């Protein structure tokens, strides 16, 4: 158990604004790539939530479950996402994306297996797979930033959709 009151952590945006801005630009480019590749924004939220679950990032879990709900995701699917293989709630396309996300997130556990990549290649084209890999990579980086700096969950509110 960590003790978040034990030491003050760096505020990255304040201390390294250029790097923080570059990270924001990387995120925006990954989102734009996914949009251009016709990867659903709802699927991107599932990817962000699943990677954040694996990494134990409370800040990102708070943010992305709120964003997913705001986009129309159901409570049932959000609650079951940690056990997606055991439920009938996710499509084959979502399952392939989640398996790829897990492999990228847990790359130290055996790389990204050919079987996982092949499953994704059955339902996504090359540009879409690239977008999924970027989405998983970006959220993994954000998880590490939020965890390392002990960003506090709870205050984030999604931007209302017009």
Own/partner long-range contacts of 5-11 (Cβ < 8 Å, ≥24 apart): 9/148, 9/149, 9/150, 10/149, 11/149
Which pLDDT does position 148 carry in this prediction?
96
If 0-12 CB within 10 Å is exposed, 13-18 middle and 19+ buried, where does residue 123 land?
middle
Pick the more confident residue, 53 or 162: 53
Return all residues near 24 (Cβ < 8 A) that are at least 6 apart: none
Coil vs helix vs strand at 154 = coil
Q: Are 55 and 147 in contact (CB under 8 A)?
A: yes
Residue 52 lies in a domain: yes
Q: Which of 7-21, 26-40, 89-103, 120-134 has the lowest mean pLDDT?
A: 7-21
Name the residue with tokens 């003790």: 3
Number of domain units in the chain: 1
List the domain range (segments joined by +) for residue 55. Answer: 15-148
Instruction: Kindly state the average pLDDT of the residues 27-51.
Output: 98
Beta-carbon count within 10 A of 23 CB: 17
Residue 68 lies in a domain: yes
pLDDT tens sequence across 104-118: 999 998 899 999 999
Residue 134 lies in a domain: yes
Residue 97 lies in a domain: yes
Q: Are 158 and 67 in contact (CB under 8 A)?
A: yes
Instruction: Kindly state the average pLDDT of the residues 124-147.
Output: 98
Give the pLDDT band (50/70/90) at residue 123: very high
């Amino acid at each position: 158990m960590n003790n978040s009151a034990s030491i003050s952590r760096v505020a990255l945006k304040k201390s390294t604004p250029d790097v923080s801005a570059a990270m924001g630009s990387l995120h925006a480019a990954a989102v734009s790539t996914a949009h251009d590749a016709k990867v659903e924004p709802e699927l991107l939220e599932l990817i962000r939530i699943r990677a954040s679950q694996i990494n134990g990032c409370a800040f990102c879990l708070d943010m992305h479950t709120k964003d997913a709900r705001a986009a129309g995701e159901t409570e049932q699917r959000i609650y079951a996402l940690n056990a997606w293989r055991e439920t009938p709630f996710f499509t084959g396309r979502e399952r392939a994306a989640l398996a790829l996300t897990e492999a990228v997130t847990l790359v130290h556990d055996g790389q990204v297996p050919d079987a996982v990549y092949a499953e994704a290649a059955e339902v996504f084209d090359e540009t879409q797979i690239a977008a999924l890999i970027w989405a998983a990579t970006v959220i993994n980086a954000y998880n590490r930033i939020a965890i390392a700096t002990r960003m506090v969950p709870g205050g984030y509110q999604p931007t209302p959709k017009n």
